[in-house]
Chain A
Amino acid sequence: MKLAVMVNEGPYTHQASDTAYNFIVAALDAGHEIFRVFFYHDGVNNGTRLTTPPQDDRHIVNRWSELSNTHDLDLVVCVAAAQRRGIVDPDEAKRNGKDSDNIAPGFRISGLGQLIEAGIQADRLLVFGD
């Protein structure tokens, strides 16, 4: 099956990102396709490369980047939510006059249309949040 996942909360504060990740790993193991993972609300904070969690804890952002790389996943951070929260790629930095960007590898910034498209194209949409 083609599955789409929406992640509405950031790393560590809520379990949403962990549950979404574990669900996706299980889905991939079972042979399903992950059409897209869409990060909205505070979920965009899963896409900053500047986190430094304690060494004895899971590195949530890097884990997403690695999963994206291994399985060629489409991790999309909503542009409107990202602008509100300061998640920036080089194009957004240039467009909005910011002095740097912080997007993590494996993520891309795009519009809410990508979420709606995922709802239309996927067989199932799962939402993880607070």
Chain B
Amino acid sequence: MSETKKFMYINRRPPCGTVYPLEGLEVVLIGAAFEQEVCMVFISDGVFQLKQGQDTIDSGMKNFSPTYRALGDYEVTRLYVERESLEERGLTEADLMPLTWEDEDDDWAEKPSIQIVSRTQLSDLLEEQDVVFNF
């Protein structure tokens, strides 16, 4: 496969209520091996996927929120979170998991993976993509 495409994975649903966030994350992790230009977007209730402090023990469900921390190791380093979606839900960046990646071109400096962007910026980003998934 000679060409590189821009893949965007849009996440609009909260964790736990449906399987889509978990199975969506599995697509991203498998897709990381294909060396395309990848980013993830969290809008609407999707911002809740990144909420700190998820504890599923009493519900009996699997807690897959720690898996987001592995994204940096898979070179998925751009996680765009929509500002308006956070604000509508009474959240701030401080409520989200501190996800990071290590930049080998910068002496392995640890950098934040999450970027808070506006709806307008997201609209521009969406236009740039070649392939878009919704989970």
Residues of A in contact with B (beta carbons under 8 Å apart)? 6, 40-41, 80-81, 84, 111-113, 115-117, 119-121, 125, 127, 129
**B34 and A112 contact, CB distance less than 8 A:** no
Could you tell me the distance in whole angstroms from the C-beta of B120 to the nearest C-beta in chain A?
Answer: 24
Q: Is the CB of B23 within 8 A of A111?
A: no
CB pair A113 B23 closer than 8 Å: no
Q: Which residue of A6, A41, A115 is within 8 Å of B20 (Cβ)?
A: A41
19 contacts across the A-B interface (CB closer than 8 A): A40-B23, A41-B19, A41-B20, A81-B23, A112-B30, A112-B31, A113-B30, A113-B34, A115-B27, A116-B27, A116-B31, A119-B7, A119-B131, A120-B34, A120-B36, A120-B131, A125-B132, A127-B133, A129-B134
Give every chain B residue within 8 A of A115 (Cβ-Cβ).
27, 31
CB-based closest 5 A-B pairs: A112-B30, A119-B131, A116-B31, A116-B34, A125-B131
Q: Which of B1-56 contact A (CB under 8 A)?
A: 1, 3, 5, 7, 19-20, 23, 26-27, 30-31, 33-34, 36
Chain A residues contacting B31 (CB-CB under 8 Å) are: 112, 115-116
Secondary structure call for the B interface: mixed
> CB-CB < 8 A to B30: which residues of A?
111-113, 116
State the majority secondary structure of interface residues on A.
helix
Contact B1 A121 (CB under 8 A): yes
B91 to chain A, nearest CB (A): 25
Partner of B3, one of A116, A117, A120: A120
Interface centre among B3, B26, B27 (most CB of A within 10 A): B27
CB distance from B13 to the nearest CB of A (A): 10
Min CB–CB distance B17 → chain A (angstroms): 12
The complex places the Cα of A115 from the Cα of B19 at a distance, in Å, of 18
Closest to A114 in B: B30
Q: Quick check: B5 and A113 within 8 Å, CB to CB? A: no
Name B23's contact: one of A41, A116, A117, A125 (CB within 8 Å). A41
Give bound CA distance, A125 to B9, whole Å. 13
CB distance from A41 to the nearest CB of B (A): 6
For the complex, give the distance between the alpha carbons of A112 and B131 in Å.
15
- CB neighbours (8 Å) of B19 from chain A are 41, 84
11 new A-B contacts, CB < 8 A, other than A112-B30, A120-B3, A120-B5, are A41-B19, A41-B20, A41-B23, A80-B23, A111-B30, A113-B30, A116-B7, A116-B34, A116-B36, A120-B131, A125-B131
